[in-house]
Amino acid sequence: MPTSRSKERLKSTQEILKKESTAPINPTPNSPQVTPINPTPIPNSPQAIASFIPSEYIANDLFSDSSKLPQTSKSDADKAIKAISEKRETLRIIGANLQLNTDAYKVGSLNEKMNQAAISYQIDGINSQSKMVALEGANINLQIAQSKLSQAQEKLNHQNIELLGLQSETPLRQRYWEAKLSLIESRISQVELAKFTLDSKIGAIEAEAENID
């Protein structure tokens, strides 16, 4: 057990240390300048941050109840610890739900990406069908052009056949007209001969008539 004299010495020593710790420091000429450091408050902080400053609650007198800490009974402390522990369990549930919601949003994001991929797939399918329709239309147009070409070819064949017929008919027509011209010339010769004969007979008759006179 400490004696009264040792208690007094310890108490006086604590008072001296307390005075020295609270007394301002006077720097010597050769000592470096001390710059006081003040904590900078966080700007636009959404809420005040609770801080525990030990120097405000230490027991300056180690032999008495000198701390400024509030007194709490064991039963109240047990209740508070239990309540805090239950609140921490609540926070654990909240954290699990937050993680669950985060995972749900991640899966939802994957679902949206899948939907976008499905839409792109459908768009590509529609574009492919459109190109297939255009290809079928081009094939139909090609068949129409081929049909028109075949019709034109048949018409050309008909024209060529008709041309061959006309070409074969040309010498026959030439012979026909030559014969017709020959016949006309022959008839003209016969008419001229008959006219000459008739003129001769008329001349002879007139001569005989003149002799009779």
Contacts of 34 (CB under 8 A, 6+ apart): 25, 27
pLDDT, tens digit, 9 for 90 and up, residues 194-203: 888 888 888 8
pLDDT, tens digit, 9 for 90 and up, residues 24-83: 444 444 443 433 434 444 455 555 678 889 999 999 989 999 999 999 999 999 999 999
Question: What gap in Å lies between CA 79 and CA 97, rounded to an integer?
Answer: 27
Q: Where are the alpha helices (DSSP H) in the chain?
A: 4-22, 74-212
* Mean pLDDT calculated for residue range 176-194: 89
* Residue 11: Cβ-neighbour burial (10 angstroms; 0-12, 13-18, 19+): middle
pLDDT in the model for residue 26: 45
Res. 13 pLDDT band, cuts 50 70 90: low
Res. 204 pLDDT band, cuts 50 70 90: confident
* pTM more than 0.95: no
Contacts of 40 (CB under 8 A, 6+ apart): none
* Structural domain boundaries in the chain: 74-169
